[in-house]
Amino acid sequence: MDCVGLCDVLAQAGWDRGLAQFLSLFVGVILVSGLPLVTVIFLIWVERKVAARIQDRLGPNRVGPFGLLQTFADLIKLLIKEDITPAAADRLLYNAAPILSFASVVLIWAVVPFTPYHIGTDLEIGALYFVAVASLGTLAVMTAGWASNNKYALLGAFRVVALLVSYEIPLVFALIVPVLLAGSMSMMDIVHAQAGMWFVFMAPLAMVLFFVSSQAETGRAPFDLIEAESELVAGFNIEYSGMKFGMFFAAEFLHVFTNGILLAVLFFGGWQGPLANEPLIAFVWLGIKGSLLYFVSLWMRNTLPRLRIDQVMRFNWFFLVPLSIVQLLVIAGLVMILKEIGLVPLNAQGHIDLASASFLSMLPMTLVLFFANVLIALPVVQWLRENGRKLRERDEQRTRRAIAANAAGAVGD
């Protein structure tokens, strides 16, 4: 095993090599996992403030300056709240679900590259690891719904499985695009491959697909039918109270921000930016990009109404999935053609090499891919508009007929 950094220092100081190794890894884990934990406390405040501003309210502003200490007040409240476990619940699974939910989100942070030199662990299969760990969250929600032994909770959980499982397909198809372009599943390599040009310019459709399906994966509006306050009361977490309930919510808040960061890493160049050789500046770049994308997600959440489950399913299977397959094929085909005619930066072995390519050498490739994406997007958007108009007109007609029927009935009486 390698022994560098802290491990090396400890080994030099006369520690046992294995122990030094373990300790240095342990410190790394604490640092990497501590970051999301600190962030989530701040995120809850940000989310509430942003939601308030969008809805023309002030948001929390009583506890501390600008309400910054509101989260701590809530934390204390949650800690001293009575925690009721329903007598009919499956106790073991009931208690395990919130833990699994939060842990699955924190685990994603192991492969997030913070700076050119700092990453939890640069797994060769980082992208696959992220998908695998994130789907543990689905399992947690299902477990919670099942173990609660409550009809609302179980209905919510069934919907979750249908929804989350469906939206994972466009998510992964969109994820294949950066993997294909970078030629690596390691998150660090994917960021390095965007040195010349961010992937969002080469595959804007993949970015949109990833963004939409990751929004669905968090179960946020317009895809929040998992919780559906008005029909299912709260969905899977209806029986939860106290800190366990808090854990589900902390996990959700953190998941949304994590998705923003992942989107930044996969499509917006991660820590890339001017002066990114300096770790601190690189870290700030990642933070800025992730926060902006996070803001868009909050904006969507607070602006759009909830969709019905049949609409959500139709949107996924008849729109997102076919679109994700088509855009992957088009990108793969074009990259191959561009390689044959020599418009792609190659290395000495004649393989595509984006990591050492400059902005100019990637420009022709980017332009071709971008216009191909626009060409796919135009008819799709047109089709969406027509379809939307048709549905709206049908609904309007139905309403008009109902009103007319009502009026006629009133006269008859």
Partner 1 sequence: MNVLNEWAFVGIFAVLAPVFPILPIVIASILRPKMPNVLKSQTYECGVETIGDTWVQFRVQYYIYGLVFLVFDVEIVFLLPWALAYHQLDLFAFGAGFLFIFLLADALIYAWRKDVLAWK
Task: Indicate the helix (H) or strand (E) that contains 216.
Answer: helix 204-217
Q: Kindly state the smallest distance separating residue 296's Cβ from partner 1, in Å.
A: 26
| Residue with Cβ nearer partner 1 (113 or 120) | 120
Alpha-carbon span 382 to 395, nearest angstrom: 20
Q: Kindly state the smallest distance separating residue 149's Cβ from partner 1, in Å.
A: 5
Site membership for partner 1, residue 243 (CB under 8 A)? yes
Residue type, 325: I
Site membership for partner 1, residue 223 (CB under 8 A)? no
Residue 94 CB neighbours (<10 A): 20
Q: Which of residues 248-307 bind partner 1 (CB under 8 A)?
A: 250-251
Site membership for partner 1, residue 195 (CB under 8 A)? no
Is residue 213 within 8 Å of residue 127, measured between CB atoms? no
Is residue 11 within 8 Å of residue 3, measured between CB atoms? yes
Site membership for partner 1, residue 383 (CB under 8 A)? no
Alpha-carbon span 123 to 129, nearest angstrom: 8
Site membership for partner 1, residue 100 (CB under 8 A)? yes
| Main-chain dihedrals φ then ψ at residue 119, nearest 5 degrees | -150, 145
User: Does 222 sit behind a cis peptide bond, omega within 30 degrees of 0 on the bond before it?
Assistant: yes
Among 31, 92, 165, 384, binds partner 1 (CB under 8 A): 165
Residue 287 CB neighbours (<10 A): 15
Alpha-carbon span 66 to 64, nearest angstrom: 6
Q: Kindly state the smallest distance separating residue 361's Cβ from partner 1, in Å.
A: 15
Q: Which of residues 336-355 bind partner 1 (CB under 8 A)?
A: 336, 340, 349, 351-353
Region binding partner 1 by CB under 8 A among candidate stretches 31-39, 49-57, 279-287, 390-398: 31-39
Cβ burial of 344 (10 Å; 0-12, 13-18, 19+) is buried
Site membership for partner 1, residue 361 (CB under 8 A)? no
Instruction: Compute the 3-state secondary structure of the chain and give helix, strand, coil in percent, each to the nearest 5.
Output: 75, 0, 25
Site membership for partner 1, residue 9 (CB under 8 A)? no
Q: Kindly state the smallest distance separating residue 229's Cβ from partner 1, in Å.
A: 14
Site membership for partner 1, residue 106 (CB under 8 A)? yes
Region binding partner 1 by CB under 8 A among candidate stretches 42-50, 66-74, 282-290, 327-335: 327-335
Site membership for partner 1, residue 239 (CB under 8 A)? yes
Among 190, 207, 208, 335, binds partner 1 (CB under 8 A): 335
Among 43, 44, 144, 154, binds partner 1 (CB under 8 A): 154
Q: Which of residues 68-97 bind partner 1 (CB under 8 A)?
A: 75, 78-89, 95
Residue type, 258: T
Alpha-carbon span 413 to 298, nearest angstrom: 50
